[in-house]
Structure 1
Amino acid sequence: MGDKVTLRTKIILPIHYTRNVVDMPRVTEISEKYNLTLIEDACQAIGVSIDEQPVGSWGVAIA
């Protein structure tokens, strides 16, 4: 995903769907490396966790 970041990139918006969750440790690493805002769409994955951290709690905002 890091190879898709351009000078115009401002945010990363991962979308979690049921148990098909995004690799948030990797996405967080990329957002920090490129200083991008991380906003999660976790409305379809209520109650799901990644490494004991609930989806929707990794970014600065949740949808």
Structure 2
Amino acid sequence: MTSSKMGRPTDNPKDTPLFVRLDQECREILTAYCEQRNVNKAEAARRGIKKLKDDLKK
């Protein structure tokens, strides 16, 4: 018997947790986005972070 974790294999593991505190406005925006796009909060946060990539100085 192996001691490794069982689960779905993936090419893109999500192994870095993130905890943030949101104000009321941000919470409402996030909730509305998740409902409209039918995604969970973690996926919405990943999408938002990826949008920040264009703002990085090169």
- TM-score normalised to structure 1 length: 0.27
Q: By percentage of residues, which structure has more helix?
A: 2
Report which of the two has the higher share of strand. Answer: 1
**Which structure is richer in relative contact order (CA contacts within 8 A, separation 6 or more)?**
1
* Higher Cα Rg, which structure: 2
